Structure 1
Amino acid sequence: MILLHYGNVVPFNWNTRGYRCFYCGKEMKDCDLLKEHTIVSHKVIDLETFIPQRIISKDVPVKIDITQLGCIVCDIPLASIEDLIAHVVGIHGEEYDNSAGVCVFPFHLHKEILQCVLCEEKYDNFTSLMGHMYKKHMEQACICQICGQSYIDQVRLKRHISNSHVGHRCKFCGRIFDAFHHLEKHKEIIHGIQKSVECSLCSTTFVNQYQLKVHMGKVHNVEKYRLKCEHCPKICTTKGAMMLHVQSLHSDARFECDICDYKTGIKWMIKLHKRKHFGEKNYVCSICDKRFGRSSNLRAHMKVHTGNFGRVCRWCRQGFIDLLNLEKHEKEFHFYNQYA
């Protein structure tokens, strides 16, 4: 704030679309227009009020143009940011916290050629100049692998990750969730954002990649999604389904039912199998109240009502004729209070 108060500098922001005014956010392609706009439109700024609101994180240095660097109070030119800091401390008696690290990035903004203020390297675009600054003049420059933001040390990078990326943050309201599928369900119910993937052959949409792969294999006979078992004529549409099939029927590691002769290579399949012996039927059709021991049997049963495979609520195990009815049920009975 001291540098902005005493220095004849122009603070600015930048992204791939161009320059943005530091004070009002107006976007401009031309750096000369940016400087003119800032000087004319924001000549008088209450920095003590504005800066705490504008700079949310002290970890990101402020970009400033120092083409006409000098002290605006004394009306004298200065050669560098270091000279400005020394002048403000020595002449005006201000305190400057050097332990704060790099607080500003100085630039010479010109239309044609952008020259680094710290060396003689020149570039024809601001993107290249920024890359040069981070690589050549920032010791141990650390880049967040999640969002691409850069920081001057690991401490500030870790602080950024902790504040911005721990958990899964909703970009619409800022709420953080401990699981990605909770975030997706929140965005769908609260913000009306539904993720979908489209079949490139018939334009049918699905809620996830797995359903699309099954569709491509079964409906369009795409060879990539029709995996043939090496041991029998069984065909699966995904590697996961094929792995489950092989482990269940063709694996040497056998688990046996202690009531009948049923054997499987998957331990938890024994638990499902025993439901037949004990009569456990926890999956209920919401239309005719018929009960089933497996969700897959309930989904297949829904063909009786609609001709299509149904859906099963993972919370109460009720069956529904389609995704729309299932989502309506989940919103009303399971998710509204959790994500509101």
Structure 2
Amino acid sequence: MQNTKRLYIARKNVLTVLQYGKVMPFNWNTSGFRCFYCGKFMRDCVALREHTESKHSSVDMENCLPKRIISKDVPVKIDVTDIACKFCPNTDLNTLEDLISHITSIHKEEYDDTAGVCIFPFCLKRDIMNCVLCESVFDNFTSLMRHMNKEHIAHGYICQICGLSFVDSIRLKRHITYSHVGHRCTLCGKLFEASHKLEWHRQRIHGQVKTHECNLCSETFDNKYQVKVHMGKVHNVEKYRIKCEYCPKICTTKGAMVLHVQSLHSEVRYECDICEYKTAIKWMIKLHRRKHFGEKNYACSICQRKFGRSSNLRAHMKVHTGQNGRVCRRCHQGFTDFESLSKHELELHYFEQV
């Protein structure tokens, strides 16, 4: 009965916000965005916004919401990019809290907080996405959604094995399957908590290398990320050449652009005590300080040249082979290919891996 009451309150709260607020509800899964009202799939948030405004400008909310809101534990996602009151367009409203306060104080409507978090606000953008509840920045909606579920919602389902908490039983069961039931190697039977760790194990121990090919020149890479970087740098594919809105900088991935913006164009919190270098990212200061103290912990196994970053060592290996090299994660030595690295790890680090 208590759960039924909470679901009723959640639906009523959402109904109040949608009736008065100039906001857009939407659904989302890992494939992309979906219209809240008709379920039409959209990869682009701008197209979703245009579709909702043109196709669903007048909706019978009281009959629609009970069909769309079926769980008390999963907040409704709304876009608050152009947030405003439909009846008081000149009132300055910046956040969902401002809108709710305006609705209750000016329009005398009720909003019951006892149901917990009923609505998740988002400012949908094509590239960089900011959390509207804190200062976190993400380059994709998946990471932003994971952050919102972890940091801004109360979790009532607790894993009895590790203590992690989740918003509903479905996510708890998925966690138990992936983290505690695990992924087993079919070659040696070893169990891993995550699929990517099993993939690393297959490469390092059994030599099963999965490669990804560029469809423009047939060059192969270790992962899809490297393919995207290659296509942006070598083939100038516009999709993978992201321009900074503050300076002429061009990055090949959204993640690199987020790092660039956070490092150079956001509020500075960390400064080098030796030179004038400033950044908003703490670990970037540690990386920068290596330049002053000459810290070079990554060494080439062929010519013994040392580098301060693993990325520089991998790039250096091109001198010997014409391709990016591999770096041992345990002793920071660089190798020309996967076979050399695997042999090194089996000889020197075997007991650290099994």
TM-score, with normalisation over the residues of structure 2? 0.45
| TM-score, L = length of structure 1 | 0.47
Structure label with greater radius of gyration: 1
